[in-house]
């Protein structure tokens, strides 16, 4: 078994890009090492826990964060180029709200326990809703609707979204940023690394064969 722990936040475009790169790396891994299954563990963290529950205007947030419209355009161009390379299309003009992701992470945590097979599909749906459709993934009603579209019972989704418990923290170093990947708890990488770099880390962390098999 190859355990992969991934720290992410849903408002981070590099996390969505890194998730797509990881999917590509896993395809290569399964082809090269079919005898060693990969087990993914997702750890949601909040990059901006200080945002109000209803979020803030997206454009104003980035103008304040980066200092000028020129800086915002440059950052978005960088993200768009990386996203295109990963097969993703990010629609910045559609994004009106920079959401607080606490409710979304609580939804994912609840779904992981009750609809485990749906967890990753819902995560992908939330990324797409935010970065392509410009939907407010901090809004409880929106989150429940997205969960239902993925096959999650409405009452389960509502209960998870309303859960007031703190967001789960990751086993990864919080100073490393997101996305952060840890392979078999001993090899780690930060950032939206290319698939071949992730694959190299998987090979480095791969359990050694038993002595009798050598």
Domain ranges of the chain: 1-45+169-214
pLDDT of residue 118: 93
185-191 long-range CB contacts below 8 Å, 24 or more apart? 185/3, 185/5, 191/14, 191/18
**This model's pTM is above 0.85:** yes
pLDDT of residue 214: 41
pLDDT of residue 69: 97
pLDDT of residue 168: 63
pLDDT of residue 151: 94
pLDDT of residue 209: 60
Question: Which residue ranges in the chain fall short of pLDDT 50?
Answer: 170-172, 211-214
> What is the C-alpha separation between 147 and 141, in angstroms, rounded?
10
pLDDT of residue 134: 98
Q: Using one digit for the tens of pLDDT, what is the confidence trace for 146-166? A: 999 999 999 999 999 998 877
| Beta strands 187-190 and 180-183, pairing class | antiparallel
CATH number of the domain at 1-45+169-214, out of 3.10.450.50, 3.40.1170.10, 3.40.30.10, 3.40.50.2000? 3.40.30.10
């Amino acid at each position: 078994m190859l355990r992969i722990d991934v720290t992410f936040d849903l408002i981070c475009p590099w996390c969505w890009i890194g998730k797509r790169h990881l999917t590509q790396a896993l395809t290569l891994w399964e082809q090269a090492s079919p005898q060693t299954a990969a087990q993914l563990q997702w750890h949601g963290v909040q990059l901006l826990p200080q945002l109000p529950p209803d979020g803030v205007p997206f454009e104003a947030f980035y103008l304040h964060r980066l200092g000028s419209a020129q800086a915002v355009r440059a950052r978005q161009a960088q993200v768009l180029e990386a996203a295109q390379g990963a097969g993703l299309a990010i629609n910045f003009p559609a994004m009106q709200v920079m959401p607080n992701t606490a409710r979304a992470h609580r939804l994912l945590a609840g779904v992981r326990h009750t609809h485990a097979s749906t967890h990753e599909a819902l995560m992908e749906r939330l990324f797409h809703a935010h970065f392509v459709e410009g939907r407010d993934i901090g809004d409880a009603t929106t989150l429940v609707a997205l969960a239902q579209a993925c096959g999650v019972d409405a009452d389960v989704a509502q209960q998870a979204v309303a859960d007031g418990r703190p967001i789960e923290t990751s086993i990864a170093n919080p100073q490393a940023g997101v996305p952060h990947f840890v392979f078999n708890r001993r090899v780690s990488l930060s950032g939206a690394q290319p698939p071949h770099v992730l694959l190299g880390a998987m090979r480095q962390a791969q359990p050694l064969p038993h002595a009798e098999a050598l």
